Amino acid sequence: MTVYVSTMILRSLRMTGEKARGETLDPNEAVECLYELNSMLDSWSIERLMCYQVTQESFPLTTSTTAYTIGPGATFNTARPTKLVDPCFVRDASNLDSQLTIIGAETYGKIVQKNVGTTYPNRIFYDYGFNSSGYGTITIYPAPSASLTLFINSWKQLQNFASVSTALLLPPGYQLAIESNYAIQSAAGLTSVAPEVVKMAKESKAAIMSINIPDTISRMDAGIVTGQRINIITGP
């Protein structure tokens, strides 16, 4: 169902008693409310269970190049990811894939020789700090010595709304979660919020999180695998 941003804001303000049915937003209210709503959605973007999809994208790699900026207008021209998740991999000209291990800044920093060349990289590091253009930086290691394509899976930031007249098509459950949680945010420091609105906000957000939770896969650390069968109760 298509819904307008202004409609959601007005529903939120009715929950706090600030607006009555049939009222509208004046221009100043529209600007302020839009800013507050986008601020709330920005904070949700770092909550894995509020991101409703993991997006896979592919980008060509340049021979002997390890670092690439990512973001709108960057070398990898796409919405800036919040975080990379497995699986990430490279694909060669024969359509054969090689998986990459996602590493952090500390692990990457401990690599002594970062300019080693090889056909297939095996590590990927995402520095999601902003540079002067607002880009993140993806680094692969070692540098590829052949033309490869990088595939990444990532959380994307939840969209920000350009104006209160923006028409939206939201996944199930998000409209109520946005409206009820924004009601609480808009009322902060100004007025109290009815307990039923607080309950609605918590339950609607929890319902989304329950749907978005990734499947859990149990793994055994490779360091303790001995090649023999192990009873998980009694041990080797």
Asked if residue 68 and residue 28 are part of one domain, the reply reads no
Asked if residue 132 and residue 60 are part of one domain, the reply reads yes
- Number of CB atoms found within 10 A of residue 82's CB: 19
Helix H or strand E segment including 76: strand 76-77
User: What pairs with residue 150 in β-bridges?
Assistant: 59, 90
H-type helices in 87-149, by residue range? 105-109
Domain around 205:
2-49+159-212
* pLDDT value, residue 91: 95
| Domain annotation covers residue 231 | no
Q: How many domains does the chain have?
A: 2
Q: What is the pLDDT of residues 89-145, one digit of tens each?
A: 999 999 999 999 999 988 988 888 877 767 789 999 999 877 778 899 999 999 888
Asked if residue 70 and residue 85 are part of one domain, the reply reads yes
Distance separating alpha carbons of residues 179 and 204, to the nearest angstrom = 10
Asked if residue 144 and residue 92 are part of one domain, the reply reads yes
Peptide bond into 142 cis (omega under 30): yes
Name the residue with tokens 């990289």: 121
What is the full DSSP assignment across 196-231? HHHHHHHHHHHHHHHHHPPPP-----GGG--SS--B
By three-state DSSP, how is residue 209 classified?
helix
What is the DSSP-derived secondary structure letter of residue 187?
H
The residue that leads in pLDDT, 2 or 63, is: 63
The residue that leads in pLDDT, 46 or 197, is: 197
Asked if residue 113 and residue 57 are part of one domain, the reply reads yes
Residue closest to 124 by CA, chosen among 73, 68, 60:
68
12 close to 179: Cβ distance less than 8 angstroms: yes
* pLDDT value, residue 217: 56
Asked if residue 138 and residue 70 are part of one domain, the reply reads yes
Cα-based angle 41, 42, 43 (whole degrees, multiple of 5): 90
| Domain annotation covers residue 71 | yes
Asked if residue 165 and residue 93 are part of one domain, the reply reads no
Range scoring the smallest mean pLDDT among 4-18, 32-46, 75-89, 111-125: 111-125
| Domain annotation covers residue 20 | yes
Asked if residue 165 and residue 151 are part of one domain, the reply reads no
| Domain annotation covers residue 177 | yes
pLDDT above 80 (res 221) = no
Q: What is the pLDDT of residues 155-188, one digit of tens each?
A: 877 778 889 999 988 888 999 999 999 999 999 8
* pLDDT value, residue 96: 93
Asked if residue 147 and residue 71 are part of one domain, the reply reads yes
